[in-house]
């Protein structure tokens, strides 16, 4: 995994399918001089993705590769791979990218491709995560940044953030609380990856140093 050096930042391409709010949080974080990664390109599989004009306005290279224009998933991914290689991508960050990758594509990028998911994986994979959390009656929800694997919403976990579930929550209010956590978690996790502080052992991420304390999180508060 690319390591940050004084004269070199890891080149990151962000893949989006919609508004790209997590992409925006990565771009904002990367503005800091000491941030170890730079966002070199934003690619969308949807021409109408609102995040594309936003990224272009930030002077970031953008590209639309419409998956509907290809006869197969493999053909789409071949074009995507060409764009990634051309950009010099060292890390690929999925940010609301609503396409499942083929095992072959994942295998080629699996130590360099990360994703953020709005639940505390391995719980509540797939869509409608907040509805799933509320239906299960959990008292703590959250989000996860993980390395991508062929299985949907699976792969070694890099970082997680937890938020309380309140008694009056709807899917929308819980989603807003989780999204705010996502915007803080993703830049932090990308920093760890760009610095080379994550290594994968037996499909688990080991950090080069432990940054956590041992305090528990209670919900409801005690």
Q: How far is CA 64 from CA 104, 185, 196, in A?
A: 22, 26, 30
Residue with tokens 């690929």: 92
N- to C-terminal Cα distance for the chain?
41
* 118 to 52, 110, 131, 132, 150: CA distances (angstroms): 22, 20, 11, 11, 18
- Decide: 23 and 42 in contact? Cβ < 8 Å: yes
Residue 154's CB: how many other CB atoms inside 10 A?
Answer: 17
d(Cα 95, Cα 15) in Å, to the nearest integer?
6
Question: Is 117 an active-site residue?
Answer: yes
Structure tokens at 26: 């990565």
Write down the catalytic residue from 67, 117, 130, 146.
117
The set of catalytic residues is 117
């Amino acid at each position: 995994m690319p390591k940050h050096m004084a004269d070199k930042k890891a080149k990151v391409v962000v893949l989006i399918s919609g508004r790209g709010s997590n992409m925006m949080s990565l771009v904002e974080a990367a503005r800091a001089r000491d941030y170890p990664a730079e966002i070199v390109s934003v690619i969308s599989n949807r021409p109408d993705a609102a995040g594309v004009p936003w990224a272009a306005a930030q002077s970031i290279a953008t590209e639309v590769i419409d998956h509907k224009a290809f006869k197969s998933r493999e053909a789409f991914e071949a074009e995507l791979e060409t764009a990634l290689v051309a950009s010099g991508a060292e890390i690929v960050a999925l940010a609301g990218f609503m396409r499942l990758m083929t095992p072959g594509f994942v295998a080629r990028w699996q130590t360099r491709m990360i994703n953020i998911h709005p639940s505390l994986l391995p719980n509540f994979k797939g869509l409608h995560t907040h509805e799933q959390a509320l239906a299960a009656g959990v008292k703590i929800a959250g989000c996860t940044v993980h390395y991508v694997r062929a299985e949907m919403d699976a792969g070694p976990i890099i970082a997680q953030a937890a938020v309380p579930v309140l008694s009056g929550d709807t899917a929308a209010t819980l989603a807003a609380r989780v999204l705010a956590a996502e915007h803080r978690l993703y830049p932090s996790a990308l920093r760890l990856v760009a610095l080379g502080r994550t290594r994968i052992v037996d499909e688990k991420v080991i950090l080069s140093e432990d940054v956590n304390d041992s305090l528990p999180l209670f919900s409801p508060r005690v």
